[in-house]
Chain A
Amino acid sequence: MIWEVFRQEKPGDYHTHCGNVHAPDREMAKQFAVIQHGRRKPTESLWVVPQEEVGEVDADEVAFGGTTDKSYRWAMAYTSSTEHAKEVIASQQEQEQAEADRQRGDD
């Protein structure tokens, strides 16, 4: 069976998908993943998940974030002031980045 593998590079990071392995069970999936996906890249932790347990929904099936204007959800829509606490500015910058990534995906 196939196991999807998620790697965390260092403590505190997110586990992100990095590949998969064939293995007969969870124990062997972990052993194989250690070598196949953790032997060179910095690795703090790996997760293995049976591929058949992964549910998927993709952009053909659903319009992520909607198709009508939802700019009211974004900090950028509010322009009554330009002075903000630093964490508010940081949040807006992250949102601008996410929105830019979304727009790129639409092209």
Chain B
Amino acid sequence: MAATEIELTPDQRLALETELRTLADDEFVLAERYTEWQVHAPTLESDLALANIAQDELGHARLWYDLLEELGYDETDLLWERDPDTFRHATLSELPFPEGEWADAIVRSYLFDVAEGLRLESLEESAYPAIADRVGKIQREEGYHTEHAENWLERLATDDEGGDHLQAAVDRLFPHALALFVPTEPVPFGAETVSGDGAGSQYTDTDALPDAATVEETIVAEGYRTDSLATLGERWLDRVVPTLESHGLRTPVPADGEITDELVPDACGRNGRHTDDWDTLYADFTHTYRELGREDATMIMDRPE
């Protein structure tokens, strides 16, 4: 069923867009970072594997962006001409890899893939059918990603030097991974997507938007995602903390398991605040588009089903 056939109230649409942007931006930006390992991975075989994971994630981003396109955007609005401040990926995705820090790629992938797996599970029964329809395809590929990360984690952890690299990566990345469960600050509707009768026009202005917590409530209340971020976050901690500890790795989670705001970085991405590395990355990936003065993005494949 085409999404456009469903009548959405402005609040419903805002909730839906917010969830889709979160999903798409996380995948796109993480893939962008993963491709940095192409030609630089430790062995030729591991190079091929991570390149494939990058392509999978990009393919997932493409599926989510495509649902936003059904709401009236095009690829240039969503990526190439988009204000970088309106990207909503968690900062986990955008951090550059310190040179040679393969452990960072593995820990990041592990933290992200477990979170994504949980999030996808709670999208399986999404009340928005187009989301539910796409989840299965993505889950099949994510299985490989999680196992890949776990396998590497295990191998690196059995080595002293490997363990030190892993611990440094956990220390650096864990707070940014917590950002994955922070409610997303909504982005105003693009003026071009507001219909003639003006429905939704009130949400073309940032100041008029409800706050992130309210939008998160709508996402769950409408059943676009069946579990709250708080629930997903708990499940995630229950899984990753014992696994990391079993490999001798410490996390910043206190003994009582209570996650406080202080553990999450101020610039966490979900709130529209990013690290300086994001500006550099954005400038780099849009470079050719701007240099050529392009006004559209070349499609090679058909629109996803």
Touch between chains A and B, by CB atoms below 8 Å: yes
Give chain B interface residues in 118-167, CB to chain A under 8 Å: 136-138, 140-141, 143-144
A69 touches B140 (CB 8 A): no
Residue from A68, A70, A71, A72 within 8 A of B138 (CB atoms): A68
**Known interface pairs A63-B141, A66-B141. Does A71 touch B59 (Cβ–Cβ under 8 Å)?**
no
Render A58-72 as a binary contact track against B, CB cut-off 8 A, 1 for contact: 000011001111111
**B254 in the interface, Cβ–Cβ < 8 Å?**
no
**A77 in the interface, Cβ–Cβ < 8 Å?**
yes
B144 touches A72 (CB 8 A): no
A77 touches B300 (CB 8 A): yes
A78 touches B300 (CB 8 A): yes
B144 touches A62 (CB 8 A): yes
- Cβ-closest chain A residue relative to B304: A69
Bound Cα distance A78, B60 (Å): 22
Bound Cα distance A71, B301 (Å): 7
With most chain B CB atoms within 10 A of its CB, the pick from A67, A70, A78 is A67
**A69 to chain B: which residues have CB within 8 Å?**
59, 62, 301-302, 304
A66 touches B59 (CB 8 A): yes
- Cβ-closest chain B residue relative to A73: B55
Give chain B interface residues in 12-58, CB to chain A under 8 Å: 52, 55-56
Render A37-76 as a binary contact track against B, CB cut-off 8 A, 1 for contact: 0000000000000000000000000110011111110000
Least distance between A57 CB and chain B CB atoms (Å): 10
Bound Cα distance A67, B135 (Å): 11
Additional 16 contacts, C-beta under 8 A, given A69-B301, A70-B55, A77-B301: A62-B144, A63-B141, A63-B143, A66-B55, A66-B56, A66-B140, A67-B138, A67-B140, A68-B56, A68-B138, A68-B141, A68-B304, A69-B59, A71-B300, A71-B301, A71-B302
